[in-house]
Structure formats: C-alpha cells, structure tokens
Structure 1
Amino acid sequence: MAKVIMIQGTMSNAGKSLLTAGLCRILKQDGYRVAPFKSQNMALNSYITEEGLEMGRAQVMQAEAAGIEPSVLMNPILLKPTNDVGSQVIVNGEVIGNMSAKDYFAYKRQLIPDIRKAFHELEKQADVIVVEGAGSPAEINLKENDIVNMGLADMLDSPVLLVGDIDRGGVFAQLLGTLMLLEEHEKARVKGLIINKFRGDPFILEPGIAMLEEKSGVPVIGVVPYMDISVEDEDSLTTRFDTRKEAQIDIAVIRFPRISNFTDFSVFEQINGVSVRYVDSVSQLHRPDMIILPGSKNTMGDLKWMRQNGLEAAIKKRNGESVIFGICGGYQMLGCTVSDPNAVEEGGTMHGMELLPVETELETQKIRTRVEGTFEKVSGVFSGLSGRKIRGYEIHMGVSKAAEGCSPLCTLTNVLDGRNKEDGVAGETVYGTYVHGIFDEGEIASVMVSALAQRKGLSVENGLTMDYGAFKETQYDKLADTLRKHLDMDGIYRILNGGTYDKRSIDKVEN
C-alpha cells in the first residue's frame, strides 16, 4: 500500500499544482516510486495517453516531474467547460456526456467507485502518491458529497498540507479562515501549513507565523518564495495571459473564450528574443510576426466571437505580413466552412475564415490518439520544417477535408493502430494542423523562429540549440531545489510516515 500526502489550498491558484510537482520531484530524487493524483480536474488543457485516453495537463506535468509516463489513473475525472454553466464530463479518459453544473453536482457521488479504483491501481505502481486538491476545502456550498478535497482525504485516509498564497494578500486570514470552516475531523487531517509565493525576508513574517500557529494549533512547515520557474500551469488562472511586452519576434495567440491546450506554445516562451502574447481584442493584436489560432472547446462559438469583435477581419488583413498558424479548432476556423449536422456545438453550418481550402464537419465521436510522423515538403515561410520528425496527439470532434491538390502539412502514423494519414495544409503564409504538441519536438520551434527572424533581417541567439524536454527537466530540478531549501522536508517525511510534525523535536527520517 502506497503512502499518501495531500496538498490542499486556501483558494484556486494558491500553488497546489506546482508544490505537488515539486514534492513528486523530491521524492523521485530520494529514490521513491512516486505518482501524482487528482480525482477531479476542471481544465481545457488536456492530453492523450498512450492508450488514447484523455486527462488533464497538470497531472501530465506532475508525472514528468515524477519521471513516469502519464496515466489516466492520475486524473480519473476531467471536466472541460463548454459554457459558463456546463461541462463535458470525461471519466477514466472517456467522454460520458455534457452536464450542467447542477446535474453534475447531483451525479458526482456515483463516480466514487471510479476514483477508488483508479487510486488503488495507481498504488500498485508507486511507493508514495502526492494528491492535489481543487479550489478550497472551505467552499462550504460544495462540501456536500465532496470528492476532491476533504472528502477525498477521508476516502484515502490522507494527511493534508494546506497552502496559502501570500502574494495576493491576507494569507493569515486565508489559512485561519479555511481551518475555522472545517469540521473538527477535517481540521485534524491538516498536519502543516505552507505560506507560498513570498517576496522578501522571511524574518518579517515570524510574529505573524507565531500567532498563526498559536491560533490554529497547526505548525507552519515552510515559507516558499515566489519562484521564477517555467512549468505548465493550470489553465483557469494562468499568468501567461497577462504578458504584453513585445520582443524582436512577436507571436500573438488568440485568446478565445474557450481556448484549450495553450501549453502547445510554451516552447516559444523559452527562446531568447521571442514574446508570446495572448490577445482578445483588435487593439491588442498590433503587428505580430506570427498569429496562432489555438485549440477551442467550441470552434463555432469562438469563431463567432472573433467575427463579432473584429479579430477575424483584423487577422485576415494581416495575412501575408504575419504568418498565420491554426492548431485543432484554430485549424478548423481557417477553413472555408464548419458544419455541425448533429448539433455537437452550435448546429448548422457557418463560413470559416477562408484562408485555407478546407471543409470541416463536426462529429459526435471524439478523436483521441497519439501520432508521430514527418513534415511533408512544406512551402512558404516554414519550408525549413520539411522532413523534420513530429510527435504529438489529437483531440477533436470533427473531420477536415482539404481540397484536391492541396499540399498537406505532414504525414502521420496513428500510434494506437499504425494507420497512416495526411494531416493539415501548408500554404505560403498560412498553415493548419490537428496535432497538439507539434512544436515541442526537436528544433521545430527554433526553426520556425529563425524563419520569422529571417523575414525581418534579424537573427535570434541560442534558438537552434534548444531542447525543450531537457529544459523542462532543469525546471523540475530547480523547483525541487527551492522546495528543499524552504520546506522542512524532514517534517514532511515524518507526516508521510504517519507521525506528527513538531518543530521542537523533529527526528530526521532515514530515506
């Protein structure tokens, strides 16, 4: 039976995902088989496993930190919002349907057997499981039939570390208020408090920490500084959307209301001289070197939104001056028509942006697969991609057919069944594909940035030697080093082994 420890937060974006990843990395470094677990994730950033099953990207990031292959066992329930009051519900990697928030709230207890089964299967593969909660355990309107915070901690008999975000202010009230709203048996599970995202000298916190410990009866196990670390974050409250600075090579990603899988573009953020901005209005677009239309959970709705706010017209006006690249839903939008005969999204048929000779029909069956292959002989600005290897995955609810005689962007092999197919379209300055993660492999992103720079008579330093996979490994190690320095890991090991954390007498645990 695996040992378990759970990270809960006082609010969304308190840092639960990052701390979970950091603990996974530390435990891996210390010789344990470790795995992350989050019973229910609400996110539009998702991933396809080797088995063709869908899971949240946050647990993929944590699995990478743990040095293991991502598995849907780590995230048995994924909710993908389709509108403000409803989500597509994915259980064990498979879509079971769309539900309103009210309907899902009434239904979710039926998923407890799935959560238990996934966790117990994961236990067979791990010595330690680091569990992440969602939102806050003090959301009293959601406490009934809870399956992701204290309800899950009870289910797994797990000790809890509670994280507060000092960067947004009121951290002492966050932590104390959360504990006050817990029931006594829930509060008893909280074995340590963590103050996260601190800027400055921890010495000035000491009086507040002493009072916090006195009033709560729970020790503070660490003060973690605000970290300059680049790992994939949760999509709902990412700070990536706040970037406005423009670099030598400027990439504008259209921020749809239902934007999905924007992790596709993280690799560009690591290349010197490149800015990645997320824009949702014509006034923010400016004159980027490349415009990316990302994935969308509602292609027709987001295309309509872009049409109504003027972004569609502005992007089409930039065609030729800016390179335009569509991924998944963005690729569908770039075509001539999007048809929805089965009312998967909006129903009916609407004109696309007519920048690629492609017709798309939305279907009820979701396509989920891992793919690998090569770029074809690519024309235009990105001709340097020709022949380069590709790896990635597809998640979409439609099929796109290019007009006869069009140049495909790439040739792919379905990893699950070995079938080959052509994908995407390559124009002179407009490109589209269904493949998520297409930019991560090898030097693809660097070649694209170099091509954009060459158009402007510029050079981008250090781009061609970048290895994104190796870069992520350095970030996980940096995260682990920081947490080792600022968390009492001896205390955490003691809690993990069933003991009580006591600052006055802490026995070092032999690892």
Structure 2
Amino acid sequence: MTNIMIQGTTSSAGKSLMCTGLCKIFKEDGYKVYPFKSQNMSSKYYTTKEGYKISTAQTLQAMAAGLSPHPNMNPILLIPKSDKGSMVVIKGEDTEDMEAVEYFKYKNTLRPMILDIYKEIESKNDIVVIEGAGSPAEINLKQNDIVNMGMAEMADAPVLLVADIDRGGVFASLYGTVMLLEEHERKRIKGLIINKFRGDKTLLDPGIKMIEEILNIPVVGTIPFAHLELVDEDSLIDYDKECNINPQTEEEMERELNKLALLLRQNMDMDYIYKIMGLDLVNN
C-alpha cells in the first residue's frame, strides 16, 4: 500500500491530467490503483448509476484506473451556486447550500470522515493517486486545510508539484509556492513537473538546473503541450474540445488515455516516481 499526491502552483496547472495519466500508467504496470480527491469544486459533475454525484475529474481518473466511479473517490464536492456560496455534496449526496465563510468553519468537522474513507481505500489498493486543489500556498485558506498539504499529512504522501509554463512565470510560481509553505510541508515535495511546454527543451534546461539548485528539489518531468480529447472541468481551458460538447465513446476515451499515459512515460522520470513511493518499476 502506497500513494502519491499531485499538487499545483495554480488551478488548471495540470493536476487532474497528471493524476489521470498516473492512474493509467500504474494500471498498465499491474497495480491496483485508486484515485482520490478529498474536496473538489466544480459546476460539472458525474452522476453514478446509484445516483451519487462526483467530480468529472475523478470520474475520468476512475476510468483510467479501470474502475467504476464511486463517491469515495471525491467525498466532498462543492457545486457553485453564486459568487459566495455552493451546494455541499457529501459522499455523493446533496446536503445544504453554504456560503464560503460558513463552509470554511464547517469543513474541519469533515476531517474524520475524509480520513476514514482514505484509510478504507488505502487498505484495499496498491496505490492511491491523490489530487490537491488550487494551490497549497493559498495562505488565506491554509488553516484547517483538508485538500492540499493537510491531506498530504493525513495520508503521509510524497508530493509532486506541477506548474503551467504556457501562461508564463513558471519558475517564479514554483519558487513562490515552495517558499510560502512551512518547512515540514516543503519536505513533502519530492519533485517538480513543468507542464504544457512548447519549443526546444534545451532552451529551458538552464532554468531547470537553477530551480533545482535553489529549491533542492528535482524537476522530474517536462511535459509537452498536447491536444488531448479528455473532458475538462469548468476551470481555465486551453483550447476548444469536441469532448466537452459531445460525449465520447469508450474506444475514443481509451485512445486518448493511452496517448496521455505514453506522453507521461516519455517525459517523466517514472523510475524516480516509483522510488519515492517505495516501489520498483514493473517492466511488462
């Protein structure tokens, strides 16, 4: 039983996609893998055959892991209803509308439920792939955190931090995120991922060397920008996708998941990722 957590410097840095690709890779390598995000906010959600609501991101990750979507994958879903409030969905079921200030006070009571679900998941699987939300450096929200470093501590998970280079300022966002964390939180970050890179990587190499030296954390992946027809949540979207309008067939989705897994295998140090999880890479 082991785990890995993906956190991001911002929303839409690529956390969901990295988690989806890792779920697919671990499944291909013969492991029983399970996706988990303690809390997600999205106006788009999937309804299971039993009538439970979970986020579209964890639904896609479930498919990548070869599983049916289940509310344990996303025990808390916040469905925005206004600029200040959301419907709070607990274990797939609507509870009540709450304004942000009210939920901020309430969420700490959900910690035992999250931990119980996580322990159950961990006991039944080889690997749990955990997704964070937003950024762990949102210092106004860190108190009683249940989805970023707070979740990493509950699960005792190594963390990979992903940043989006396509919007610029990638090294500043990596440095700023790490340095705004507490020292014990920084120690959890075992690798950096630069996502959505375009161009000649040799031009990026000097910056990679410098950020590794400054933070003493290795860059374990530089992922090229790629058009993948995998459904997005309602955050920042890089390009129009047919799959966001028209549902895909299983064959179409499997093809895109295979492309994603290959992209990550070719551009991430999977040997290192297995090592920080305490596993050996399985060669099939």
In structure 2, the residue corresponding to 1:145 is in which secondary structure?
coil
Identify the residue that residue 476 of structure 1 maps to in structure 2: 257
In structure 2, the residue corresponding to 1:99 is in which secondary structure?
strand
Residue deviations 1:239-275, cap 9 Å, x none?
A: 45x68xxxxxxx9xxxxxxxxxx94x333xxxxxxxx
Supply the distance in 1 between the matched residues of 2:160 and 2:206 (Cα, whole angstroms). 21
Residue deviations 1:101-131, cap 9 Å, x none?
A: 0000011000111111221222243210100
Q: 1:121 to 1:180 in 2, by over 3 A?
A: same
Supply the distance in 2 between the matched residues of 1:126 and 1:166 (Cα, whole angstroms). 33
Contact 2:30 / 2:282 at 8 angstroms: preserved in 1?
A: no
In structure 2, the residue corresponding to 1:218 is in which secondary structure?
coil
* Aligned positions of 1:228-243 closer than 5 A: 228-239=227-238
Structure 2 stretches lacking a partner, 5+ long:
none
Supply the distance in 1 between the matched residues of 2:255 and 2:12 (Cα, whole angstroms). 23
Q: For residue 164 of structure 1, what is the amino acid of its counterpart?
A: A
* Aligned positions of 1:92-491 closer than 5 A: 92-239=91-238, 263=244, 265-267=245-247, 468-491=249-272
Identify the residue that residue 25 of structure 1 maps to in structure 2: 24
Contact 1:9 / 1:16 at 8 angstroms: preserved in 2?
A: yes
Residue deviations 1:318-366, cap 9 Å, x none?
A: xxxxxxxxxxxxxxxxxxxxxxxxxxxxxxxxxxxxxxxxxxxxxxxxx
In structure 2, the residue corresponding to 1:140 is in which secondary structure?
coil
Cα RMSD between the aligned structures? 1.6
In structure 1, the residue corresponding to 2:191 is in which secondary structure?
strand
- Give 1:238 shift: 2.6
Contact 1:24 / 1:65 at 8 angstroms: preserved in 2?
A: yes
- Give 1:50 shift: 3.1
Supply the distance in 1 between the matched residues of 2:63 and 2:40 (Cα, whole angstroms). 18
* Aligned positions of 1:18-57 closer than 5 A: 18-57=17-56
Supply the distance in 1 between the matched residues of 2:282 and 2:226 (Cα, whole angstroms). 28
Please say if 1:89 is aligned against 2:69: no
Residue deviations 1:161-208, cap 9 Å, x none?
A: 000100000100010110110100000000000000000111111110
Supply the distance in 2 between the matched residues of 1:239 and 1:214 (Cα, whole angstroms). 31
Q: TM-score, normalised on structure 1? A: 0.54
In structure 2, the residue corresponding to 1:83 is in which secondary structure?
coil
- Give 1:30 shift: 0.2
Q: For residue 246 of structure 2, what is the amino acid of its counterpart?
A: S
Q: For residue 260 of structure 2, what is the amino acid of its counterpart?
A: L
Residue deviations 1:274-326, cap 9 Å, x none?
A: xxxxxxxxxxxxxxxxxxxxxxxxxxxxxxxxxxxxxxxxxxxxxxxxxxxxx
Please say if 1:494 is aligned against 2:275: yes
Supply the distance in 2 between the matched residues of 1:37 and 1:99 (Cα, whole angstroms). 23
Supply the distance in 2 between the matched residues of 1:29 and 1:176 (Cα, whole angstroms). 33
Contact 1:77 / 1:91 at 8 angstroms: preserved in 2?
A: yes
In structure 2, the residue corresponding to 1:147 is in which secondary structure?
coil
Q: For residue 226 of structure 2, what is the amino acid of its counterpart?
A: M
Q: TM-score, normalised on structure 2? A: 0.96
Contact 1:25 / 1:65 at 8 angstroms: preserved in 2?
A: yes
Supply the distance in 1 between the matched residues of 2:104 and 2:71 (Cα, whole angstroms). 22
- Give 1:236 shift: 2.1
- Give 1:510 shift: 4.7
Contact 1:5 / 1:131 at 8 angstroms: preserved in 2?
A: yes
In structure 2, the residue corresponding to 1:158 is in which secondary structure?
coil
Q: For residue 204 of structure 1, what is the amino acid of its counterpart?
A: L
Judging by fraction of residues, say which structure has more helix: 2
Structure 1 stretches lacking a partner, 5+ long:
244-250, 252-261, 268-439, 441-467, 499-507
| Largest Rg, 1 or 2 | 1
In structure 1, the residue corresponding to 2:124 is in which secondary structure?
coil
Aligned residues with identical type, % of pairs: 54
Contact 2:45 / 2:54 at 8 angstroms: preserved in 1?
A: yes
Supply the distance in 1 between the matched residues of 2:83 and 2:54 (Cα, whole angstroms). 21
Contact 2:23 / 2:65 at 8 angstroms: preserved in 1?
A: yes
Supply the distance in 2 between the matched residues of 1:233 and 1:47 (Cα, whole angstroms). 12
Supply the distance in 2 between the matched residues of 1:70 and 1:238 (Cα, whole angstroms). 23
Contact 2:76 / 2:89 at 8 angstroms: preserved in 1?
A: yes
- Give 1:209 shift: 0.6
In structure 2, the residue corresponding to 1:141 is in which secondary structure?
coil
Q: For residue 266 of structure 1, what is the amino acid of its counterpart?
A: N
Supply the distance in 2 between the matched residues of 1:171 and 1:91 (Cα, whole angstroms). 35
Supply the distance in 1 between the matched residues of 2:117 and 2:49 (Cα, whole angstroms). 17
Identify the residue that residue 323 of structure 1 maps to in structure 2: none
Please say if 1:74 is aligned against 2:54: no
Give the number of the structure with larger relative contact order, counting CA–CA contacts within 8 Å between residues 6 or more apart: 2
Contact 1:40 / 1:76 at 8 angstroms: preserved in 2?
A: yes
Identify the residue that residue 451 of structure 1 maps to in structure 2: none
Supply the distance in 2 between the matched residues of 1:137 and 1:211 (Cα, whole angstroms). 22
